[in-house]
Chain A
Amino acid sequence: MRRVLLAGAIAALGVSAVLIPEPVTPPPPLSGVVIERLGISSPVDATIWYCPWAQATTTRDSEIALVSGAPAVAELTFPVLVPGEPPDHASAVIEGPGGEEIRLSEVAQRGDSPGFVEFAGGPSGAAVVVAGEVLAADSCVGQAGDEWFFVGGSTMTGEALRLRLFNPFPEAATLTVSAFSEIGTEVLGSMSRVTVSSRSWTDLDFAEQLRQRQSLIVSVRLDSGLAVPAMAFTQGSDQAWWSGTGLATAWEMPIGRVSADDSAAIVVANPSLGDITVDVELFGVEGEHRSQVALDIAAQAPGRLDLSGLELDFDVVAARVSSPTPVAVGVVSAGPSGTAVTAGVQQLPGTWMLPGTRPEAGRSVSLWLLNTSDNAVVVTVSRFTADEVFNVNEILEPGTVTEIPVVGTDTVGYMVRSADPFSAAWSVIADGQVAFSAGIPVPQDE
């Protein structure tokens, strides 16, 4: 009997052990956590801006404009191509909503000096204006996808087109470069796959290999590591720098040209495998004018709409492009005013930052705010100086681009906000020189 009881007790314990529920299995590590490859993007309140075209020589200098909507410290780093040589550093303290401007020549004067700016607060933005023998300006690069498209370049006689690949990271980056033009897909040879050493940069010159292309579309895809590309287009005595974009079905160009004397063109890149027809809406500054043009573009080819050749009853300044498939869009302007290229922007409700908009003697700056909707849009325009912010409200009439000339040489940048969609850009004009820069969109939740 005793043994039976004992056997029963053991069996009961054993069965209990079998029946005891298994603990909840913890989920796999990092499950549910979205971790994306950092790329070059960074949070709004701790943004990093990459400025591949910063340069300072005896004949030109770069003004690095920093603006922030909150108190922030900005650290600037300019790597040196010499291996083992420490990078040059600078920093700026932005006490509150406002901005600072740093001249690169005061940090390093050794020609090309691509660099990057790290903000410890935000939202913030940075732009580089190269002034001197040329005038070039664009917002520094703060975010991008896996592939970049550069639209607006050409290699006709007297023109130069140069792609800069800047790798500020400690690992080498490998990129695939491809191009197509009005004559089809281009063969790039050794330029098609490029490795950029850590903390350095390299330039690819297309004018030598791909001559006489009127619309040369260049794309850059990251294979490993990280690098930031930028394009330089030289025509005559002026030069334009701009950053690449991704693809989208709708683009806006708040500024296309600053003078009717300049020839300007909207260039659309169709990387898809099918022919498309895109709709281009054209806008002027003199009240509501809408003119729509259809542009047929072959597969893997650029489409070019010359604004000067259009016979319209208003001066076209801005445009909107709608496409059935994702495309990249840019605008190029050349003429007596100088040479300017910039990429299109995507219409967003919310906030646009426009750093670098400081006028000075012989250099005028304008903001361009495009309202493509059918309703008026009220925007708050905030002018940042080093220690103050000046706000005014403006009404953007429907179907109109509004020019706001910048006054005040203490201006370092603007922030324009609205609850409705609109797009923003700015231009800078000097004697025979011009530069366009798209605005920096700030996500609405910020």
Chain B
Amino acid sequence: MLEPMSTDPAGPPEKPVAPTVAAVVTAHDAEILGPCLAAVAAQTYKPRRVFVVGGDEAARKLAVDSGATWRPNLRGVYDSIGRDISYVWFLRERSRPRPGALVALIHDGERVDASVAGSKVVDADDPQRLISVGYATDVFAAPYSGLEADEVDQAQYDVIRDVAAAGGTSMLVRRDLFKGLRGVDLMMPPTSAAIDFCQRARLRGGRIVVVPSSVVEYQGPDPEPRWRERAGEIRAMIKAYSPLTLAWALPVSFLIGLVESVLRPFTGRFPFPGVIAAWGWNLLHLPSALRSRWQARRGREAGDEELFRYQTSGSVRLRTLYEDLLERIARRFPDGVLSGFSEAVVTGQQRVRHPAFFVGLFMVLLALVATRDIWTAHLPVVGFSLPPASSATATLGAYAGGWNPAGLGSPEVLRPHIGATALLQLLLLGRGGLAVAAITVGSFLAGVFGTARMLRVGGVGSIPGYFAGLVLMAGPGIGAVVGDSHWAAIPAMAALPWAIGGALRPWPQRRSLQLSRLAGSALAIGAAAAFVPFAIVIPLLAAACWALVGVGERVRGLARLGIATAIALPLLIPWALYADFGSLATDGPAAFWTPGVVVAALVPLATLGGLLSVDRTVAALAGWGGVLAALGVLAARTGSVGSGREVEVAATLLAGLGFAVVAGACFEMVRRRSRPAGLPGAAAVVGSLAAVGLLLSTFLVTGPGRAGLPRDAHTGVFGFAVPAQGSPDRVLMFGEGLPGTTRDIEGLPYRVFTPPYPTSREAYLNEPRLGDEALHRLLEDLIEGRVRRAGAELAEFGIGWVAFTERYPLTQLFEAQFDMVRLTSLAEPIVLLNDTPTAPAMAADGTAWVGDGTAYRRPDGAPPASRVIVASNADHRWGPGAWSQDDWRNAIDGSLTEVGFRGYAPRRFMAIGAGVWLLGLIGAAALGRRVES
């Protein structure tokens, strides 16, 4: 609120003033204090009493000599101020008020009925330079002067304005307010103490203004340590805000501190210890803060909304950080070099300054932190989290009608995500680790930003959207799936909001844009289904639920998603044509996800809170999320009707999507700052707190740095089984926690893989074929005690090692074989060496052929053989040359230098067709965006 100034700041007051004033000067150093007392004494309107608070003996002597009263602390002043005093004028020892400063404060303050009036502060050394003209603050109680660096005072701010806080440099407070608020907080440093006082005054209905006609020169710099000010800001928040605001403001404030800790070192400061110290200090002083809070909020006449009115959006600290970084970057480059960049910066200044930018930036950092082990090292090798094979072309060949090397091999089609990863690996010059890291990090980010985009359908802002995205990508839903080692769930989950959002958001009018959106949705659906097959139904299901419970135009969205799903299907060819979806739905352990306490307690509360929101859209969003979550949890527990692993994974993703939507609705409720009374108000508080709980639970996933995946269990374990030259023999491993899918013998899981560990293309075992059945029979014979030379028998399968994750009764049977030798140097896993020479491919003369992708080649210098036995499930397409079936194995003409699977041409054409379809969809999606831009 602006008021015209009533007086010339340089001139005397026009009418006499009756109020009496007590000046209170906080002191530490007598040398600095002296000029301040002199300036007070020189005021045209004399304070009735002058108090000097604090300082040493010299300060006390100086005060007495100056005719002031010395008090050791503010409590003494508080007790000394009686009814004869109208105002209390707070000054700091570094303040040098000009002679008319006090009278201007009194006169203009009274005129606008201000409870607190502050002065304009200029630099004592350079009086033309402005230091502050009152403060705005952000919601985190950090002060914001709004001034440019070294801004010159040209009377540009010389109007009386309402401000969030007057600086502690010179602040005139009504005596009754001063007494009512029990003075300033003695535990806080000056600036935050002033902000705290002003906030409490405002809660009591007081008006805070800055009176620029009152000028105070300030002898800088301020000696207070930064962490003390940060601690004071946190304390000010704790004392002033409602629980609802605190529920999100405190965690975000902490996150801001972390972001500063990461980026501030680039500007020459390292605030992390200060951040920790500030929070630690507040933890230590929490009881006193809560007592003060009770006093501050008791009898309040205004709520948080009144405080928000005078606050700037976003984070002042992050904004300052950003500007400092920009300045530092600009200084490092010669003039002109960054001109384009500078323009871009200037152009996007408004966007960048928006708090959403910083939250988004924080999400990027969090994505890097949450996946740090993956991009700094490698994917943890455990369960279904398996790295891609070294040869992308071989994997693509295997996908396109080639040989599936899992277990004893088969011509079954690989899962589409293996082909998709290999495709990216090929584009990254064969670097499988990089491809996996790119998918993981990219998925995390895509999921976060995609969720924000999807939730726009309900008018959810960016920041709540990002937080909801974080719940999507690191919340309890994805945490449960990824924690069970399903790495592929990460990209699948990330694709879901893009698929749904693309179809549900307002539909463009232009046909090219419609095509683009449809193609984009189809690509996202295809990606989700490629990584988690049953995720293909999630977008359609989500759209159907939205159609039932949502708001606005929504049925067409469902139709669009139906079309997009149909368009996405060809992307899954050839796998989709050959997959046994019945087995896929029932294979593996029975689905029965038992959500943790976080889900069981917080999600219902958040859903209820959102549903009771006064905002219809928020309620609809919460309802939508609640339905998705409940459906997902229900489907993820249908093991008793036959659902298996894949159903549980997809259903848990659906539940996770629901959690994110619910959280987004609750965060949006906070953003809109709607504060209904009664039950909706209480529900809003509870719902928001539950959503914050969901948000905090994401640290369980992001903290360890593996994107939620379990610890690596297999890297290096079988390193000894890989020879320096030639191909390794297969490993037959028994026990729980084996990589990929398994078979079982009397309930004991087992599988065959090629050491050092199975790659992603070996993750999923084929349906049992002749060789697999032969191996199973051998194990049955072994259990019946009919085998004493298991090594010789296993050699036919190319198995050179038998391992157990732990000791089972079966272990002793292998230990009692004539031709199996226990490696006693390994305690765990228990490993036995097959004494019989073997190889996955062996020539008639006993020469082991060398594996090359999914093929085998004759070793250099080895003579041609009459035939080579490939210990893989028999298939007539092995060749070239004469092929015959040797029991369950392949016997191939060994006169050539290489044998391999010839491939199944129709599947290859299908795979190529799917690739072309993929390119077409990418083209359509990109073309539409180009037209749009």
Q: Is the CB of B619 within 8 A of A17?
A: no
Within 8 A of B (CB), among A341-396: none
Q: Is the CB of A10 within 8 A of B813?
A: no
- Judge if B696 is at the interface, Cβ distance under 8 Å: no
CB distance from A147 to the nearest CB of B (A): 18
Q: Is the CB of B822 within 8 A of A171?
A: yes
- Judge if B808 is at the interface, Cβ distance under 8 Å: yes
Q: Is the CB of B815 within 8 A of A171?
A: yes
Partner of B611, one of A3, A16, A41: A3
- Judge if A335 is at the interface, Cβ distance under 8 Å: no
Interface locus among A28-36, A125-133, A206-214, A281-289: A28-36
Asked if A171 meets B821 with Cβ closer than 8 Å, knowing A6-B623, A29-B749, A35-B783, the reply is yes
Q: Is the CB of B627 within 8 A of A30?
A: no
Q: Is the CB of B637 within 8 A of A17?
A: yes
Q: Is the CB of A33 within 8 A of B630?
A: no
Interface locus among A18-26, A326-334, A399-407, A422-430: A18-26
Partner of A33, one of B746, B815, B817: B746
Q: Which chain A residues lie closer than 8 Å to B549 at the CB level?
A: 6
Q: Is the CB of B821 within 8 A of A170?
A: yes
- Judge if B802 is at the interface, Cβ distance under 8 Å: no
Interface 0/1 of A65-94, CB less than 8 Å to B: 000000000000100000000000000000
Interface 0/1 of B786-807, CB less than 8 Å to A: 1011000000000000000000
The residue of chain A having its C-beta at the shortest distance from the C-beta of B603 within the complex is A14
Within 8 A of A (CB), among B575-596: 590-592
Q: Which chain A residues lie closer than 8 Å to B639 at the CB level?
A: 22-23
**Which of B631, B634, B638 lies at the interface centre, i.e. has the most chain A CB atoms within 10 A of its CB?**
B634
Q: Could you say which interface size class chain A belongs to? A: 35 or more
- Judge if B57 is at the interface, Cβ distance under 8 Å: no
A24 to B592, CA, bound (A): 10
Q: Which chain B residues lie closer than 8 Å to A48 at the CB level?
A: 788
CB distance from B738 to the nearest CB of A (A): 12
Q: Is the CB of B627 within 8 A of A21?
A: no
Q: Is the CB of B747 within 8 A of A26?
A: yes
Within 8 A of A (CB), among B615-649: 619, 623, 626-627, 629-631, 633-634, 637-640
Q: Which chain A residues lie closer than 8 Å to B835 at the CB level?
A: 170
- Judge if A204 is at the interface, Cβ distance under 8 Å: no
Q: Which chain B residues lie closer than 8 Å to A168 at the CB level?
A: 818
Asked if A20 meets B816 with Cβ closer than 8 Å, knowing A10-B623, A170-B835, the reply is no
A26 to B746, CA, bound (A): 11
A39 to B788, CA, bound (A): 10
Q: Which chain A residues lie closer than 8 Å to B789 at the CB level?
A: 118
A242 to B637, CA, bound (A): 64
CB distance from A275 to the nearest CB of B (A): 38
A30 to B747, CA, bound (A): 6
Q: Is the CB of B813 within 8 A of A38?
A: yes
CB distance from B817 to the nearest CB of A (A): 8
Q: Is the CB of A10 within 8 A of B816?
A: no
- Judge if A13 is at the interface, Cβ distance under 8 Å: yes
Within 8 A of A (CB), among B756-805: 783-786, 788-789
Asked if A46 meets B786 with Cβ closer than 8 Å, knowing A20-B634, A29-B808, the reply is yes
- Judge if B608 is at the interface, Cβ distance under 8 Å: yes
- Judge if B142 is at the interface, Cβ distance under 8 Å: no
A169 to B238, CA, bound (A): 75
A7 to B627, CA, bound (A): 9
Q: Which chain B residues lie closer than 8 Å to A7 at the CB level?
A: 607-608, 611, 623, 626
- Judge if B819 is at the interface, Cβ distance under 8 Å: yes
Q: Which chain B residues lie closer than 8 Å to A31 at the CB level?
A: 746-747
- Judge if B831 is at the interface, Cβ distance under 8 Å: no
Q: Is the CB of B627 within 8 A of A38?
A: no
Q: Is the CB of B611 within 8 A of A23?
A: no
A118 to B619, CA, bound (A): 77
Q: Which chain A residues lie closer than 8 Å to B816 at the CB level?
A: 37-39, 169, 226
Partner of B631, one of A3, A13, A45: A13
Q: Is the CB of B809 within 8 A of A3?
A: no
Q: Which chain A residues lie closer than 8 Å to B638 at the CB level?
A: 20
CB distance from B636 to the nearest CB of A (A): 8
Q: Is the CB of A13 within 8 A of B746?
A: no
Q: Which chain B residues lie closer than 8 Å to A192 at the CB level?
A: none
Q: Is the CB of B809 within 8 A of A35?
A: yes
Q: Which chain B residues lie closer than 8 Å to A16 at the CB level?
A: 634
CB distance from B824 to the nearest CB of A (A): 8
A20 to B788, CA, bound (A): 47
Q: Is the CB of B809 within 8 A of A14?
A: no
Q: Is the CB of A37 within 8 A of B812?
A: yes
A7 to B746, CA, bound (A): 46
CB distance from B805 to the nearest CB of A (A): 11
The residue of chain B having its C-beta at the shortest distance from the C-beta of A13 within the complex is B630
Q: Is the CB of B818 within 8 A of A170?
A: yes
- Judge if A42 is at the interface, Cβ distance under 8 Å: yes
CB distance from A19 to the nearest CB of B (A): 10
The residue of chain B having its C-beta at the shortest distance from the C-beta of A170 within the complex is B821
Interface 0/1 of B630-670, CB less than 8 Å to A: 11011001111000000000000000000000000000000
Partner of A29, one of B619, B748, B784, B820: B748
Within 8 A of B (CB), among A143-179: 168-171
The residue of chain A having its C-beta at the shortest distance from the C-beta of B619 within the complex is A3
Q: Is the CB of A30 within 8 A of B784?
A: no
A31 to B590, CA, bound (A): 19
Q: Is the CB of A38 within 8 A of B788?
A: yes
A9 to B819, CA, bound (A): 63
CB distance from B325 to the nearest CB of A (A): 46
Within 8 A of A (CB), among B672-687: none
Q: Is the CB of B630 within 8 A of A23?
A: no
A27 to B788, CA, bound (A): 28
Q: Is the CB of B592 within 8 A of A17?
A: no
Q: Which chain A residues lie closer than 8 Å to B785 at the CB level?
A: 36, 38, 41-43
A36 to B816, CA, bound (A): 11
Q: Which chain A residues lie closer than 8 Å to B880 at the CB level?
A: none
Interface 0/1 of A33-66, CB less than 8 Å to B: 1011111011101101000000000000000000
A45 to B788, CA, bound (A): 13
Q: Is the CB of A17 within 8 A of B630?
A: yes
The residue of chain A having its C-beta at the shortest distance from the C-beta of B744 within the complex is A29
CB distance from B929 to the nearest CB of A (A): 36
The residue of chain B having its C-beta at the shortest distance from the C-beta of A199 within the complex is B818
Within 8 A of A (CB), among B732-748: 736, 744, 746-748
Q: Is the CB of B637 within 8 A of A20?
A: yes
Q: Is the CB of B747 within 8 A of A27?
A: yes
Q: Is the CB of B627 within 8 A of A10?
A: yes
A112 to B208, CA, bound (A): 109
The residue of chain B having its C-beta at the shortest distance from the C-beta of A9 within the complex is B627
Q: Which chain A residues lie closer than 8 Å to B817 at the CB level?
A: 169-170
Q: Is the CB of A3 within 8 A of B634?
A: no
Asked if A14 meets B818 with Cβ closer than 8 Å, knowing A29-B747, A35-B813, the reply is no
A251 to B607, CA, bound (A): 80
Q: Is the CB of B634 within 8 A of A6?
A: no
Q: Which chain A residues lie closer than 8 Å to B607 at the CB level?
A: 7, 10
CB distance from B531 to the nearest CB of A (A): 25
CB distance from A44 to the nearest CB of B (A): 10
A14 to B662, CA, bound (A): 15
Q: Which chain B residues lie closer than 8 Å to A170 at the CB level?
A: 817-821, 835
Q: Which chain A residues lie closer than 8 Å to B736 at the CB level?
A: 29
Q: Which chain A residues lie closer than 8 Å to B604 at the CB level?
A: 14
- Judge if B428 is at the interface, Cβ distance under 8 Å: no
List 17 interface pairs A-B (beta carbons < 8 Å), by A numbering: A10-B623, A13-B631, A14-B630, A26-B747, A29-B744, A29-B746, A30-B748, A33-B746, A35-B783, A38-B785, A38-B813, A43-B786, A77-B818, A118-B789, A168-B818, A170-B835, A226-B816
Across chains A and B, which 6 residue pairs bring their CB atoms closest together, nearest first?
Answer: A13-B630, A23-B590, A38-B816, A29-B748, A23-B639, A35-B809
With A33-B746, A170-B820 already in contact, 4 other A-B pairs whose C-beta atoms are closer than 8 Å:
A7-B626, A14-B634, A28-B747, A38-B812
Residues of chain A at the chain B interface (Cβ within 8 Å): 3, 6-7, 9-10, 13-14, 16-17, 20-24, 26-33, 35-39, 41-43, 45-46, 48, 77, 118, 168-171, 198, 226
